[in-house]
Amino acid sequence: MKPWLPEHITLASGAGGRAMRHLVEHVFLQDAPEVADGDVGPLAMDDGAALRIGERWLVLTTDSYVVKPLFFPGGDIGRLAICGTVNDLAMMGATEVVGLTCGVIVEEGFARADLERIQASMRAACTQAGVRVVTGDTKVMARGELDGLVLNTAGAALTDRVVRDNGLQPGDKLLLSGTVGEHGMAIAAARSGMEFQGDLRSDVAPLGSLVRALLAAGGADVVALKDPTRGGIASAVHEMAQKSGVGVVLDGPALPMLPAVRAMAELLGIDPLHVANEGKALIGVRPWAAHKVLEALREHPQGRDAAIIGTAHAEHVGQVILDTGLGRRLLREPEGEPLPRIC
């Protein structure tokens, strides 16, 4: 059934939740191409596409970045653009990155010093991630036609095995590689002009090395990967549940969260489960391997706060239930990220 679609694009259309999914499904995926058996194409709406080349898969992914402000506590649009694309590749199990591309669109009058700062940040993020931007493109729009600068990165990586976001079966454990909500809350705080952000910083980081470590530990028992970006944990777990045909019960008290995030969330009235993370992975693991994978995560510098946060069930298919410790409630699929231009 075709859902109601607005005649004009709204901010929610790009916010990573239900509204965006409907737009993508009913506009961008009209007559979308089929791909070969075993390949992952656009209809899968996964973090990227996977196409067989010989004995392996080439994974392709792309994201545009419109984050506001361009520089924020813990990072900037350049670091975000590198990490976002590296992470989308990693979330398909593809950590052998062939190369990234980068498209820059900038407003006339933009300070060259800021461009150089963003460029240096991209270069540093590439070094940290062990990847390269191999080709790029520059466009300029006139003053007033674009708010500053936007970036697009695409990436190509090879893998012997594609990990999807739809592989959960009843009984599987859901792991999270670290604390929840820093990127979204840091942006929200920066935008609200709050001076007392304290140690609230975006978690933006490349996850290739972490994913290599967890795949080395869990092998084929790692059955699903997804990074909870726009729309946060709530959107990402809903997507995994719906695509896998399971229900997921989240163990609320087990969700790792920094006190600064909790405090800012209460102050701003924003649910930290609804905001973007930019350096975290959700990992679906067969029950018998969950502790082994958790251990591997915790031994990794980026996974010290990792936790088992949920379990897949045969009931409540497509739904996410939050066990708060005091009771259970349905966690609704968000319409979208509460803040526009979060990434």
Where is 62: in which H helix or E strand? strand 56-65
| Interaction residues for a second copy, span 203-232 (CB under 8 A) | none
Q: Does 142 bind a second copy (CB under 8 A)?
A: yes
Pick between residue 40 and residue 320 the one whose CB is nearest to a second copy.
40
Among residues 69, 134, 253, 304, the one that binds a second copy under rule CB under 8 A: 134
CB of 80 to a second copy, least distance (A): 12
Selected from 83, 86, 94, 154, the binder of a second copy by CB under 8 A is: 154
DSSP 150-198: EEEEEEEEEESS---S----TT-EEEESS-S-HHHHHHHHHHHT-S--T
* Footprint on residues 81-120 left by a second copy (CB under 8 A): 98-99, 101-113, 115-116, 119-120
Shortest distance in whole angstroms from residue 171 CB to a second copy: 30
Residues 64-83 that bind a second copy (CB under 8 A): 64-66
- The single residue among 3, 38, 69, 132 that binds a second copy, judged by CB under 8 A, is 132
- Smallest distance from a second copy to CB 44, Å: 9
User: Which residue shows structure tokens 């058996």?
Assistant: 37
Extract the tokens encoding 285. 């693991």
Which whole-number Å values give the CA distances from 205 to 125, 129, 141, 227, 286, in the listed order?
Answer: 8, 8, 30, 12, 26
Member of 139, 304, 328, 329 binding a second copy (CB under 8 A)? 139
Tokens encoding 104: 């820059």
Do 236 and 184 form a contact (C-beta atoms < 8 A)? no
- Selected binder of a second copy within 141, 263, 267, 317 (CB under 8 A): 141
Is residue 113 within 8 Å of 183, Cβ to Cβ?
no
Phi then psi for residue 121, to 5 deg, are -70, -40
Picking from 163, 173, 186, the residue whose alpha carbon sits closest to that of residue 73 is 186
Burial of 31 (0-12, 13-18, 19+ CB in 10 A): exposed
156 interacts with a second copy by CB under 8 A: yes
The string of DSSP codes covering 194-252 is -S--TT--------HHHHHHHHHHHGGGEEEEE---TTHHHHHHHHHHHHHT-EEEEEG
Question: 58, 180, 185, 200: which one contacts a second copy (CB under 8 A)?
Answer: 58
The one among 18, 22, 63, 93 contacting a second copy by CB under 8 A: 63
8 part of the interface to a second copy, by CB under 8 A: yes
| Least spacing, CB of residue 54 vs a second copy, in Å | 7
Least distance (Å) from a second copy to the CB of residue 302? 23
Task: Tell me which residues in 281-340 interact with a second copy (CB under 8 A).
Answer: 340
Q: Which of 4, 7, 193, 327 binds a second copy (CB under 8 A)?
A: 7
Nearer to a second copy, 192 or 324 (CB): 192
Any contact of residue 38 with a second copy (CB under 8 A)? no
- What phi, psi does 205 have (nearest 5°)? -160, 150
